[in-house]
Chains A and B, each alone.
Chain A
Amino acid sequence: MQWPAPPWPPRSPGPSLEALYHLIREGVLPYHAGVSLRRVLIGLGLATGAGVPLGLALGYFPSLERITAPILQLVRTISPLSWMPIAVIALGIGDRAVIFLIAVASVWPILLNTASGVRHLNRNWLWLARSVGASTPHILIHIAIPAVWPQLFAGLRMALGIAWVVLVPAEMLGVSSGLGYFLLDTRDRLSYSELMAAILGIGCVGLLLDAGIRALEACWRRSGEGRA
């Protein structure tokens, strides 16, 4: 019996590029990329929804930060992938476990950047706000959030990078769509040119996402000419 000749090392990029072209034309790669993007965006949304308020609170109340710091540091150092079994047990196999992992992995830069931004707020702005009758919620909305916006943005960008990295192993958790799934699938089918195409696809979408968020940032900078 004759094993098929191993396609590695690839002798030329031709077959991979060809496969990439077909996968895009037939809509396979866009479909999986779309599913993955949706999961990443929902996960990031959850991470932002949890990370920003928590970060604001931690930055604003130093005592709260002192109490929670050891726990946060501990949880943060756990690789997000170690949550995989728990995610599957608690949420079952499927979208929800993947989204959970993405959220857990990407919440940290958002939370920590927000907290550090609030901690370094100009004290005078707080005095000013209190002197014109602002309450604590007012201060959070009108001073803290606009002031930490640049740092929050940087955190978001980091979070997006992490989310995209975590996505692929997370989608190997028995889901039947998404780029991570597709990658496994090509391997199982021994379709190495498609596998290479999938890897290329993952890289390209990641690049596009980063470019997108940078464009958003540039756009925001331009719209607020005077914002520090």
Chain B
Amino acid sequence: MSLLSAEGLSKSYFIHGRRVPVLMRVSMEVAAGRVLAVLGPSGAGKSTLLRLLAGLEPPDEGHVKLCGEPIQAGHPALALMFQDPCLLPWLSVRENVRFGIRFMGLSGAESQRRVDEALAWVGLQEVADWYPHQLSGGMAQRVALARALARQPRVLLLDEPFSALDPLARQALGALIRRAAGEGIGVVMVTHNVEEAIQLADEVLVLTARPGRVLLHQPLRGWEAPHLSLRQALELAAAGRWVSHHAPAFR
């Protein structure tokens, strides 16, 4: 049963008066407890895809469904973590986490409980009263994750959550993401890194260079040489030499 699914998403932007297609007929789905890694060259439209999935922008064509219902921005079952931590500098860590659930209409006690729980989850109770500029990049990223998790989402969308982190912090955040999936959350994770995709993901989706089309969308299990294959797929995606929506070599 897929939790979040997208059918035939297309999106263009107007740049200097010219219509630039960014995504073309992208379909995908993610099930509960699964991690889907989205890979693709820079500018392929990965961040755009996440915004469409989150209902923040309407697609030109196609539709997104969350638990069978059309997606709406701010849906309580969905949480989004942006490419940068995107913390509000005038709020403390605790207040930033609370911002994630501020508009859900929870009681004061319940939001308090969720904030504490989320902070404990990412191991940041000690710095709850700090302000964003006092945090390291990795800590800020974990605050952003806590803010997303406090929503107790069923789907978590992550845009390059590891980009600014050192190897240790990567490992810690990776473990947290696996743990979230272990609790039944469906995760869509954008990444540039083949290694990370293979370590963390159950499935991969490779987008071609702009306009982004689906080059490949399949489970990782059973691949013989996942690193090599995935790397080749990415090269193919960047070179734009794909033939159809699915490269036969990887089926």
Known: A127-B56, A142-B99, A226-B130. A133 touches B90 (CB 8 A): no
Near A by CB (< 8 A), chain B positions 36-77 give 51, 54, 56, 73-76
Could you tell me if A125 and B86 are in contact, using CB atoms closer than 8 angstroms? Answer: yes
A132 within 8 Å of B by Cβ?
yes
Instruction: Give the docked Cα–Cα distance between A90 and B191 (Å).
Output: 65
Closest to B104 in A: A133
**CB < 8 Å: which of B73, B84, B99, B100 contacts A130?**
B73
Of A130, A133, A146, A149, the contact of B88 (CB 8 Å cutoff):
A146
Q: How far is the CB of A106 from chain B (nearest CB, A)?
A: 26
Q: How far is the CA of A130 from the CA of B57 in the complex (A)?
A: 10
Q: In the complex, are the beta carbons of B133 and A133 less than 8 A apart?
A: no
In the complex, the answer to whether A224 meets B73 with C-beta atoms within 8 Å is no
Residue-by-residue, is A132-144 near B (CB-CB < 8 Å gives 1, otherwise 0)?
A: 1111001000110
Query: In this assembly, does B92 line the interface, its C-beta being within 8 Å of a C-beta of chain A?
Result: yes
If over half of B's interface residues share one DSSP class (helix, strand or loop), that class is named, otherwise mixed; here it is loop
Q: Do the beta carbons of B133 and A127 come within 8 Å of each other?
A: no
Contact B130 A124 (CB under 8 A): no
Report if A131 contacts B (CB, 8 A): yes
Tell me the nearest residue of chain B to A132, going by C-beta.
B100
**Chain A residues, CB < 8 A from B56:** 127, 130-131
A132 to B99, Cβ gap below 8 A? yes
Size category of the A interface is 20 to 34
Q: Give how many B residues have a beta carbon under 8 Å from the other chain's beta carbons.
A: 30
CA–CA, A176 and B94, complex, Å: 55
Closest CB in chain A relative to B68 CB, distance in Å: 20
- The verdict on A128 contacting chain B, using a C-beta distance below 8 Å, is yes
CB distance from A178 to the nearest CB of B (A): 39
Contact residues of A between 208 and 228, Cβ < 8 Å to B = 224-228
A128: which B residues are within 8 A, CB to CB?
Answer: 80, 82, 86, 88, 99
Taking a contact as CB atoms under 8 Å apart, the answer to whether A127 and B131 are in contact is no
Collect the chain B residues with CB atoms within 8 Å of residue A225's CB. 131
Q: Is the CB of A125 within 8 A of B84?
A: no
7 CB < 8 A contacts A-B: A124-B82, A124-B84, A127-B82, A128-B80, A131-B54, A147-B90, A224-B90
16 more A-B contacts (CB under 8 A) besides A132-B101, A135-B103? A127-B82, A128-B80, A130-B73, A130-B74, A131-B56, A131-B79, A132-B99, A133-B74, A133-B76, A133-B103, A133-B104, A134-B102, A224-B131, A226-B130, A226-B133, A227-B90
The 5 A-B residue pairs whose C-beta atoms are closest, nearest first, are: A226-B131, A133-B74, A228-B89, A133-B103, A227-B90
User: Which residues in B have some Cβ–Cβ distance to A below 8 Å?
Assistant: 51, 54, 56, 73-76, 78-80, 82, 84, 86, 88-90, 92, 99-104, 130-134, 147, 151
